[in-house]
Amino acid sequence: MWQSVLERILKRLIVEGRLRVTWPDGTSRDYGPGGGPTAEVSLTDDSIIRELCRNPVMALGEGYTDGRIDCAPHKLYEFVALLVRNQQSGKMPSWFTAMDRTRVALRGIEQRNNPLRSQSNVKHHYDISDDLYRLFLDEDMQYSCAYFADPDVSLEAAQKAKKDHIAHKLLLKPGMKVLDIGCGWGGMALTLARDYGAHVTGVTLSENQLATAKRRAEEAGLADRTEFRLLDYRKIEDRFDRIVSVGMLEHVGYPHLQEYFSKVQDMLTSDGVALIHTIGHTAPPVPTSPWIDKYIFPGGYVPSLSEVSAAIERSGLWATDVEVLRGHYGPTLNHWRRRFETALPKVRELGYDERFIRMWRLYLVVCEAAFEETRQGVFHLQLSKKQYAVPTTRDYLHGHSEAELLHAAQ
């Protein structure tokens, strides 16, 4: 019975390309018109068929992780991308659409991330071994979207370009007091201190990241220009000339967007500038994947531009510049995924089992497919209290003197 239900779902869902499914009894069948992307997958246990019918997203994640859904590692991206693409254009069951709408409606309740819950969420993802992250990130441990002005540059070069792009938008001057919200392993803070002469305070809720950031500052001789603290941003009482936040807004949760931007407004000096780098949807709000929420990023939420814009408007801040970075995070994740696969012997040496490897592989694949196949990108939100706190054109980003343009603007 359940196999016939899933077959009917696949016939309606796959409207582009072709998916070959091998069922637990060894039989295979193709779904879709062909003429486009192709993929193949094996279902190895009857129980996964029922679960895919009832809760497809969670079942896909759990089924692949425990081996009841099997796909060759080098073909997993094609399989997931085919599903994601067809989810955008095919006909999902009415109950699945209703479930999504319900979860969107309830996001204000599900994502109430108070300080205690926020710290628990962060520990789940970031307080695993730093050595794992070192295996697939760039040498500066940038765990966010890189900036590929040239698609052929290395991940290291693209991550450096990202940091410089952000620094230029911050219009830094030596000696400025900068806050880095969600500072990670300290790479952005160290860059702003070393290359731009800023005094940077970085805050994080991850004990691993805090220890690594402090050690790196000492080793780089930047301990006198940086301070790293284990602290929720909502508890900060100081004011700053500049605020930067890279990849942290996704952890705030929908109910706290207004609180976040109001706090940024409160922490900026009168002529201060903030640059918020965050994943976002250029589409109506969509719920967080239940599998991602349970196993990868508890409490996470990727906001839509409409949600972010409304929160900024209510905060009283000027949105002095909004840039949508497209076609950058997909390649970033592709670099991470290929490095992760290459490093599997070392991943196993660190004590991670095959279940973890399959889970982490799927996480990287799902995220890459989301950026390549859906309306998901990265927002650069440049914010200030005053209209003329930044130049009135973007010329300063393209080789002109920032100091001259700031002087002219004033």
pLDDT confidence band for 129 (50 / 70 / 90): confident
Q: Over 50: is that where the pLDDT of 402 sits?
A: no
- Choose the weakest-confidence range: 111-115, 196-200, 326-330, 346-350: 111-115
69-80 average pLDDT score: 97
Per residue, the 3-state secondary structure of the chain, as one string, reads: CHHHHHHHHHHHHCCCEEEEEECCCCCEEEEEEECCCEEEEEECCHHHHHHHHHCHHHHHHHHHHCCCEECCHHHHHHHHHHHHHHHHHCCCCHHHHHHHHHHHHCHHHHCCCCHHHHHHHHHHHHCCCHHHHHHHCCCCCCCCCCCCCCCCCCHHHHHHHHHHHHHHHHCCCCCCEEEEECCCCCHHHHHHHHHHCCEEEEEECCHHHHHHHHHHHHHCCCCCCEEEEECCHHHCCCCEEEEEEECCHHHCCHHHHHHHHHHHHHHEEEEEEEEEEEEEECCCCCCCCHHHHHHHCCCCCCCEHHHHHHHHHHHCCEEEEEEEECCCHHHHHHHHHHHHHHCHHHHHHCCCCHHHHHHHHHHHHHHHHHHHHCCEEEEEEEEECCHHHCCCCCHHHCCCCHHHHHHHHC
Mean of the pLDDT values across residues 212-218? 98
What average pLDDT does range 305-319 have in this prediction?
96
Cut 0.85: pTM above it: yes
CATH class of 114-409: alpha beta
pLDDT digits 0-9 by tens, 230-288: 999 999 999 999 999 999 999 998 889 999 999 999 999 999 999 999 999 999 998 88
367 is catalytic: yes
Q: Out of 53, 145, 183, 367, pick the active-site residue.
A: 367
Q: What share of the chain has pLDDT > 90, as a percent?
A: 80
Q: Is the pLDDT of residue 162 over 70?
A: yes
Q: Per residue in 142-151, pLDDT tens?
A: 999 999 999 9
Q: What percent of the chain has pLDDT over 70?
A: 88
Residue 120 has pLDDT above 50, yes or no: yes
How confident is the model at residue 1, as a pLDDT?
77
Residue 74: which pLDDT band, with cuts at 50, 70 and 90?
Answer: very high
Model confidence at 408: pLDDT above 50: no
Domain spans of the chain, in order of start: 2-92, 114-409
